[in-house]
Amino acid sequence: MTGSVVDPELFDASFLAQLDRLALATKRALAGDLQGERRSPRRGASVEFADFKAYVPGDDFRQIDWNLYARLDRFFLKLFMAEEELTIHFLLDTSRSMDWGQPNKLRYAKRVTGAVGYIALSNLDRVTLTAFGQSGVIEMPLQRTKQGAVPLFRFLQGLQPGSQTDFAEVGRRYARTARNPGPLLLCTDLLDAEWQAGLQALLRRRFEITLLHLLAPEEIEPSIDGDLRLMDAEGGLPVDLTADPDLLTRYYTSLTNWRDEISTFCSSRSIAYVPVTTSLPIETLLLHLMRQRGILH
């Protein structure tokens, strides 16, 4: 089964085989529309017993517990915990600033999205993917079952870098239009002044957010020296500067403060914040770090 969905541009078969053993963790029971493999607060037909209820006319007599009737001479129905599928939401930043770095941030984000999407599909969850940072958002048709990995990978491969992004508007729009709020993986470098407003909008719809904050090694440890002109990847004005030890010290301080601000914002709102440098092997991220953080199990 694994070999039929392999996309050599993103993964190899042995890596997907390791992903087959993983599942997404969720912090709360969420009710879906169809019966799948997740526990829901609703009661329905599945293999896990939940409770009894007294029979009333109109109930399904096939659910009567005849052993209990033999003991009590009364009709009771068996109730079971419904195992229902979730919709797993993916928001992928394809703005021009993501198309940078070695390893490239956008390619890394595509691989993470594809891998986690594959895990969700393997567990019979529904997967929806929206790419933002283009002139408009690009949405993949909803997928379900492992066969949905083929169109998922194809969709990811077809995505091209966009231009600027307005994450606040993206968050508000997605919160208005998305069905069945559930776990949401956001892959972005968060180079948007309105990142807080975007996250707040998603939180109002009760998405269970994991923020994968991607930066390239050159953004963590820039190798610059002397007089430079920095160009804004998303169309802003160029900046002339002189790179010296004092400037680099201030840059590192600002970077640390920025990431600390994001971490504090997220932790106070139950958002799983995962800062990642793209030099981290994706196998380490998925098979170790995200499992340690309780995002995958």
Instruction: Report DSSP state, residue 181.
Output: -
Kindly indicate the confidence band of residue 43, based on its pLDDT and cuts at 50, 70 and 90: very low
Determine contact, residues 113/129, Cβ cutoff 8 Å: yes
Which pLDDT value is given to residue 47?
52
- Taken in order 195, 204, 169, 142, the sign of the CA dihedral is positive
Q: CA-CA distance, 57 to 154, in Å (whole number)?
A: 52
- Domain containing residue 110: CATH number: 3.40.50.410
Q: Does 64 lie in the same domain as 132? A: no
Which residues span the domain enclosing 40? 35-84
Q: Does 160 lie in the same domain as 48? A: no
Segment 214-271, tens digit of pLDDT = 999 999 999 877 778 877 776 677 888 788 889 899 999 999 999 999 999 999 999 9
Q: Does 195 lie in the same domain as 48? A: no
Determine contact, residues 11/281, Cβ cutoff 8 Å: no
Determine contact, residues 278/105, Cβ cutoff 8 Å: yes
> How far from the centroid of its chain's Cα atoms is residue 163's Cα?
22
Helix (H, G, I), strand (E, B) or coil at 90: strand
Q: Does 251 lie in the same domain as 146? A: yes
Instruction: Name the range with the highest mean pLDDT among 5-14, 17-26, 176-185, 272-281.
Output: 272-281
Domains contained in the chain, number = 2
Residue 297, in any domain of the structure: no
Residue 149, in any domain of the structure: yes
Segment 127-179, tens digit of pLDDT = 999 999 987 789 999 999 889 999 999 999 999 999 888 999 999 999 999 98
Residue 50, in any domain of the structure: yes
Last-in-domain residue among 65, 84, 103: 84
Residue 45, in any domain of the structure: yes
Kindly indicate the confidence band of residue 278, based on its pLDDT and cuts at 50, 70 and 90: very high
Would residue 224 be called left, alpha or beta, if left means φ above 0 and alpha means ψ between -120 and 50 degrees?
Answer: beta
